[in-house]
Structure 1
Amino acid sequence: MRRLAQGLTGVALLAALAYGPWARRWYLTCGATPEEVERRMPGDDLLPGTELVSTRAVTIDAPPEAVWPWLVQMGSGRAGAYTYDWIENLLGLDMHSADRILPEFQRLAVGDVLPLGPDGPGMRVEVCDHPRTLAFRSQDGDWVWIFGLYPQWGGTRLVSRNRIAVPRAALGRRVANRVLLEPGSLIMERHMLTGIRNRAESSLPARASVPA
């Protein structure tokens, strides 16, 4: 009984660490500076007042113009999301991450609707400000996804913000979001951000070395 009690106590402590306020803040702001978390981004007003907001970021050693083509071609049945395709395809999202820029998917404009798998709500382009901001809103109005590209030291800070509506009465959904969606989205989105970074950096012409 003592070992059982110790084991249960250990599990409780791990759960407290994994789902406590500090851990949740890390899940939702991984890679982002406090200034980036607080910054207003174009598209925030598309879904104001929601309590589930994530802001994650990565530094890319490439200018915004080199990052932008990888963003505009993303999507189901397009260039994928540069993350774990096998996980997304278990959900029927038809994601196949491209390793090159696809000319046929470079034209994107406000009002275009990109499918999110065969059954999900489409994602409507709400902001398309080359090469600064790309923002989508789901057709059911419950999700806004914003990408901001900010020049920094010759490279780019790529900031990804998700705003998701969670009905206050839907206790089960709120628990599922806290236990599964928030940590799970960090795993998927972090891989996506590093996938964009690696592709954008590797697509640049090789820098000429400076003679000693």
Structure 2
Amino acid sequence: MMRTIRLTRPALAVGIAAAGAVATVGPAACVLFFRRWCLTWGARDDEVAAKLPGDELLPDAGLVTTRAVTIDAPPSAIWPWLVQMGSGRGGAYTYDWIENLLGLNMHSANEILPRYQHIAVGDELPMGSGRPGVTVGVLDPPRTLAVRVADQKWVWIFALVPEGESTRLISRNRIATAALAPVGRLFYTVFMEPGSLVMERKMLLGIKQRVERTATAS
């Protein structure tokens, strides 16, 4: 025989409040989890927390992303692919068709280009016609390459950390957001952060593929 369960008003109120909390906190927790994954794709907690050479170029960044990939090669085999990056140079190893829709003239190289292997602190790497280039701020081969834009609002750091016979390639972006209006910050969170993950993930995997393919051929 089935029993009918009657909820008292206090119990019903508690149930409604709990359901409301789940409905509110659940999506919020999902958003927060996704955002952390988006900003730290492939990176371990210690890598996210680590201080990297070049962090000092923009110490008060409002937005920091740290993404990483393991490459089965030593840092010396990865370094040449990093220093030749740029518009009209080795490209960015990501989705060229997207870059070129924006007029960036990126054509990702599939080989090491000797003519682009010699850079120095203060050199400017082109980012596309009519766009400001990035200036080399830290150069410590084959460990660290850091560049920044002229307005000092963006710093991009590449760190190569050996792990046995492999290397962790860590890519960190530091972006100044203090001057952005709330709408601008929301735009960054909703569109720019996921978009940067799509492009940077492709770049990291593109470098990994090129380096490992070259190492296997050698």
Range into which the TM-score falls when normalised by the shorter chain: 0.7 to 0.9
Output the amino acid matched with 1:143: W
Q: CA deviation at 1:175?
A: 1.2
**1:5 equivalent in structure 2:** none
Q: CA deviation at 1:118?
A: 1.6
**2:92 equivalent in structure 1:** 81
1:163 aligns with 2:177: no
Q: CA deviation at 1:114?
A: 1.1
Q: Say which of 126, 136, 146 aligns to 2:147.
A: 136
Output the amino acid matched with 2:186: V
Q: CA deviation at 1:204?
A: 1.1
**1:58 equivalent in structure 2:** 69
Larger Rg: 2
Q: Deviations over 1:63-85 (max 9, x none)?
A: 00000000000011111000000
Identity of aligned residues (%): 59
**1:175 equivalent in structure 2:** 186
Q: Deviations over 1:24-43 (max 9, x none)?
A: 10000000000000000000
- Structure 1 Cα separation of the partners of residues 130 and 185 of structure 2: 22
Q: Deviations over 1:171-208 (max 9, x none)?
A: 2221110011100100100000000001011111558x
**1:4 equivalent in structure 2:** none
Unmatched 5+ stretches in structure 1: 1-11, 208-212
Q: CA deviation at 1:50?
A: 1.5
Q: CA RMSD in A?
A: 1.9
Q: CA deviation at 1:16?
A: 3.8
Output the amino acid matched with 2:68: A
- Structure 1 Cα separation of the partners of residues 63 and 108 of structure 2: 27
Q: CA deviation at 1:19?
A: 7.1
Sort the Cα spacing of 1:155 and 1:90 in 2 relative to 1 into closer, same or farther, 3 A. same
- Where do 4+ consecutive residues of structure 1 move more than 6 Å? none
Unmatched 5+ stretches in structure 2: 1-22
**1:41 equivalent in structure 2:** 52
- Structure 2 Cα separation of the partners of residues 28 and 145 of structure 1: 14
Sort the Cα spacing of 1:42 and 1:178 in 2 relative to 1 into closer, same or farther, 3 A. same
1:71 aligns with 2:82: yes
Number of corresponding residues: 195
SS at match of 2:56: helix
- Structure 2 Cα separation of the partners of residues 147 and 110 of structure 1: 14
C-alpha contact (below 8 Å) 1:42/1:133 kept by paired residues: yes
**1:111 equivalent in structure 2:** 122
C-alpha contact (below 8 Å) 1:17/1:23 kept by paired residues: no
Sort the Cα spacing of 1:156 and 1:49 in 2 relative to 1 into closer, same or farther, 3 A. same
Q: CA deviation at 1:117?
A: 1.1
C-alpha contact (below 8 Å) 1:30/1:56 kept by paired residues: yes
Output the amino acid matched with 2:109: A
